[in-house]
Amino acid sequence: MNNIHSLDGQSGIVVADAGCILQTLQEYTAERGYLLPLDIGSKGSCQIGGNVATNAGGCYFNRFGGLHGTVCGMEVVLPQGQVIKLNLEGSDNIEGYGGCHRKDNTGYDLKHLFIGAEGTLGVITKVAMACPRLPNSKNVALLICESYAAVLEVLAAAKEELGEVLSAMELMDWSTLSLVQQHMSNKEEFMILNEILRFEGSQNQAPLYLLVETQGSNAEHDLSKMDSFQTRLFESSIISNGYIATDSKRIGSFWNIRESCNPSVALDGYVYKYDVSVPIEDYMEVAAEVKECLSSKASFPLAKVCVWGHLADGNAHVNVVTPGLFDKDEAFASYVDEAVYGSVLKRKGSISAEHGIGQSKRDILKRVKDKSALDVMVQLKAMFDPRGIMNPGKVLLSEGKSATSFDS
């Protein structure tokens, strides 16, 4: 279940078993001149089937789009045992049909139902994805801003001046990066953090840090875009400072800093994790409101709020950590839940941008999702899985007149 079956040299479509490790698939396509358009921190362990089942987003989403756009074929085993091939070779009951193509408008596009269904509707066994050509040039900038207003100016400038080569736009706050530094064992990355953390914010506001990546087909053009972008931002005082990495070692260091956010915060204490979508202007507002709530809560006076995430998508990872305390406190968890979700809902945000519902957000789903949409979800679950055997209790609660009550 972890074979890679094919990579079409013309279309860039790769076909692999669901059990293939994401990083293995990335390396396979890269060696053949194609970029797998998905990259997330857990690439070394997660599997492409799991990625599709959770509709993983990650750092390339803004440039290359999400899995609903890039997955172009799928094999699924349904709860009742049927195997369906969706735009994939191998159905023995049909005439000829079955290659994988970028475009196929032959009836309802069923594969999308399984993308993000978290395994509750069927088991994905094979995935086909359309890959763009591997860009041959990559640059990464680390930029320091003194305010969120400045961050928004950088975002606008990046869309305008870096345009089509912009491939990632990640934000990290000061609380997060100081924890990353505290737990950083790599000496070079420690020194980079030392350097960037010495800049101080103004007006009692800690600085914010941006990782901006470009990927393109012409090294000279790409670097010229990145250089003039950064120079202009610096000269007009939109950024306090900026560092550009062009060689793969230093690019790796910049990304390692970004990917250390999650594990470093976890080394500090128990982490109450949230993954939300909000209007981009309000990106830092949820954290600010949560801090405000926490300041009036005496039980955990040292709790810190750490924010990082995919700025260009309005997708913020908001994390509340209790330093030195590694056990979950249920009462505190409920309190933080209310603070975070209250702030997100007030802004018409989404309570789950890319991490899904699972079991822990199942109850809040009922409060936030369109009632008719929820009804349809329950009917779909009943239709596909009348005996409720697929990941029971995930996404939808099986109670009263819910999925399992349609049992046949």
**Least distance from a copy of itself to the Cβ atom of residue 73, Å:** 11
CA distance 146 to 86: 49
18 binds, among a copy of itself, ligand FAD, none (CB under 5 to 8 A by kind): ligand FAD
**Site membership for a copy of itself, residue 103 (CB under 8 A):** yes
Contacts 24+ apart (CB under 8 A), 340-344: 340/274, 340/276, 340/286, 340/290, 341/368, 342/289, 343/285, 343/286, 343/289, 343/290, 344/274, 344/276, 344/278, 344/286
The pair phi, psi for residue 193, each rounded to 5°, is -65, -40
Quick one: which of 41, 132, 201, 386 contacts ligand FAD (CB under 6 A)?
Answer: 41
Q: Which of residues 95-134 bind ligand FAD (CB under 6 A)?
A: 118-119, 123-124
Sheet (strand 83-86) strand order: 4-7, 13-17, 123-130, 71-77, 83-86
> By CB under 8 A, is residue 112 in contact with a copy of itself?
yes
Q: Which does 262 bind (CB under 5 to 8 A by kind): a copy of itself, ligand FAD, none?
A: ligand FAD
Range 263-302 burial, b when 16+ CB lie within 10 A, else e? ebbbebbbbbbbbbbbeeebbbbbbebbeebbeeeeebee
Q: Does 91 help bind a copy of itself (rule: CB under 8 A)? A: yes
Closest C-alpha among 299, 310, 369, 311 to residue 336: 299
Q: Tell me the two tokens of residue 228.
A: 């003039």
φ, ψ dihedrals at 175, nearest 5°: -55, -40
Instruction: Determine the interface stretch with a copy of itself among 169-177, 211-219, 239-247, 385-393 (rule: CB under 8 A).
Output: 211-219
Do strands 123-130 and 13-17 pair parallel, antiparallel, or not at all (unpaired)?
Answer: antiparallel
Rounded least distance, CB 349 to a copy of itself, Å: 6
Locate 203 and state its tokens.
């007006």
Q: Which does 164 bind (CB under 5 to 8 A by kind): a copy of itself, ligand FAD, none?
A: a copy of itself
337 forms part of the interface with a copy of itself (CB under 8 A): no
Site for a copy of itself in 377-406 (CB under 8 A): 377, 379-380, 383, 395-396
**Binds a copy of itself by CB under 8 A, chosen from 31, 348, 389, 407:** 348
Which one of residues 6, 97, 236, 299 is an interface residue with a copy of itself (CB under 8 A)? 97
Among 31, 160, 399, 407, binds a copy of itself (CB under 8 A): 160
Residue (58 or 269) nearer to ligand FAD, CB: 58
Angle, vertex CA 57, rays to CA 19 and CA 388, nearest 5: 60
- x-or-dash string of contact with ligand FAD, 339-378, rule CB under 6 A: ---------------xx-----------------------
**Residues 239-278 close enough to bind ligand FAD by CB under 6 A:** 262
Task: Give the Cβ contact number of residue 76 at 10 Å.
Answer: 26
Among 19, 123, 147, 159, binds a copy of itself (CB under 8 A): 159
* Residue 18 contacts ligand FAD per CB under 6 A: yes
Q: Which does 51 bind (CB under 5 to 8 A by kind): a copy of itself, ligand FAD, none?
A: ligand FAD
Closest CA to 266 of 334, 358, 183: 183
Give the interface with ligand FAD as residue ranges (CB under 6 A): 18, 40-42, 46-47, 49-51, 53-54, 56-58, 118-119, 123-124, 262, 354-355, 391, 394
